[in-house]
Structure 1
Amino acid sequence: MHDQAGPNGVPRIEIAIPVDKLKRLKRVDSGARMDIDVWRTVMQVSVHQEFDVTVTAVAPVGSKVAIDGGGIGFIDQVKHPSWWDVNVAPPQIGDRLHVVVLDLDRDPPRLSALRKDMDIARRLTGRDAPARDTPDVTSLGDRR
């Protein structure tokens, strides 16, 4: 169990819950706000990890998503392909996306649906990623 300040200095208590016990949890509303952060305590998520998500809300600044397996995240508008390509439709509720984790320290965690961010994450974690940095398929580092 960890006790720390959350957003706006509000005390936040984090408790790790074993996955087998998670299925038996019931939410009890005592009138006070209580959030169970399944994302960080049960899933053991790390930066650069990839997930499939479903868009659950859309705003001018970005999209809230539900992560397969539990948890929520946020995709800033500039981290969605439609920001960079007029031929890609803007996000809509119900859209399915493949994303990479950029920042776990924000609440909700920040994600990206951009291919270049996934490729960078794969390189940084030692996973193979095709070199798609340039139109001729050479890495920017290979160009002279």
Structure 2
Amino acid sequence: MTMSSLTFLDRERSVAGPGYSRWLVPPAALAIHLCIGQVYALSVFKTPLVARFGTSETAIAIVFSIAIVMLGLSAAFGGKWMERNGPRKAMFVSAVCFSSGLLIGSVGIATGQLWLLYLGYGFVGGIGLGIGYISPVSTLIKW
């Protein structure tokens, strides 16, 4: 494949060219992991979510549980895919899943539909978090 026939997200494009500073990789990985860490901030919103949905704390905590389970599963099963396709595609898929999950979850909160919060933030967002977690870790290991 020639460089002109590759898309921006292809694995071959993620190879650093001459003059590239490798020291840009750790701050980028740190920034990604700081974003992924927001999943643990859900407990801050537990009381307002309980009031919004008129449900128990357990029902709201299930959102976090779904997100963490999906994070683990997508990290476990998405690793091989990421190795084949490269970190750029993985981070793109991660960003799409995570932002879509937040959007779906916010629609659930706005409409008072708890199942949309489960689906969006828990399921779809959790997949994005898992794929987003493995990309910088794999890149740093190879660094």
Shorter-chain TM-score: what band? under 0.3
TM-score by length of 1: 0.22
- Structure 2 length normalisation: TM-score? 0.22
Q: Which has the higher contact order (CA 8 A, sep 6+)?
A: 2
* Higher-strand-fraction structure: 1
Question: Greater helix percent: which structure?
Answer: 2
